[in-house]
Amino acid sequence: MTTAAHATAQDLLALSPVVPVVVVDDAEHAVPLAQALLRGGIGVIELTLRTPAALEAIERVAAEVPEIVIGAGTVTAPEHAAAAAKAGAAFLVTPGCTDRVLGAVEDTGLPFLPGAATVSEAMRLAERGLTALKFFPAEAAGGADYLKSIGGPLPGLRFCPTGGITVDTAPRYLALPNVGCVGGSWLAPKDALLSGDYARIESLARAAAALR
C-alpha cells in the first residue's frame, strides 16, 4: 500500500471517490471530524487554509488521527505551502497557479494537485510534467460537460473537480475517464460541526464512500 509519505499526485486521485473539502473555524472540531469521516469510510481530508484555525487543525489531525491522509487546500501564497507542510499536511491543493506558488509547493516535496480552470492552464501545467490536477471552480467553469469535452485533446490529464459539486451531481463527474475523484464540501456542513453532530457527518461520509 502506498503511504502518505510516498504518495504521488496520481495516488491522491485514488484515495477516495470523494475528498471532503472542509473549512474549520475551531481547531477543536478537527479531530472528531476526522474520526467521523474515517468511521464513514473516507480516509482523506482536504482542510482549507481559509481560517486562522486551519494550521492548528491540520497539526492536530496529523498527530492524533494518523490513519487519515490530511491535506491543506486553498494554498494561494508561497508561505502557505511551507506552513502547511510544517503543520503536518501530507499533500497540498491550490485553487489556481502562479509560478511563485508552484515553486513553493514543489519545494515542500509533498504531492499536490494544482488548480486549473481552462485548457491553457491545464496545458501549461502539463508542460511542467503535472498530470493530476484540480479543476476549480468545477460547476462555474463548465462542469462535467467541460471535462468530458477536453478529455480528447488532453488525454494524459486527470482531474479532481471541486466547487459546487453535490452528492447528486458527483456520479456524473466520477463516470468520466479523466476524473479520479471529486472534492465535496457537503460532507462536513457547518451546522453539523457547530452542533457536534458527528453522526451526521459519518452518515454523509458513508454515502460518499459508496459513490462511483
For 24-57, what is each residue's pLDDT tens digit? Answer: 999 999 999 999 999 999 999 999 999 999 999 9
The segments of the chain whose pLDDT lies below 70 read 1-6
Q: Has domain 19-205 been given CATH number 1.10.10.10?
A: no
Q: Which residues sit opposite 158 in a β-bridge?
A: 132
pLDDT at 27: 98
3-state DSSP assignment of residue 36: helix
Domain ranges of the chain: 19-205
Q: Which residues sit opposite 93 in a β-bridge?
A: 113
Q: Which of 17, 66, 71, 64 is nearest to 40 (CA)?
A: 17
pLDDT at 2: 42
- Residue of 64, 121, 134, 148 marked active site: 134
- How buried is 158 (Cβ within 10 angstroms: 0-12 exposed, 13-18 middle, 19+ buried)? buried
pLDDT at 37: 98
The pTM of this model reads 0.95
pLDDT at 120: 98
Look up 134 and say whether it is catalytic. Answer: yes
Look up 64 and say whether it is catalytic. Answer: no
pLDDT at 6: 56
- Residue of 46, 86, 106, 148 marked active site: 46
CA 201/CA 109 separation, integer angstroms: 32
CA 128/CA 71 separation, integer angstroms: 22
Q: Which residues sit opposite 46 in a β-bridge?
A: 21, 71
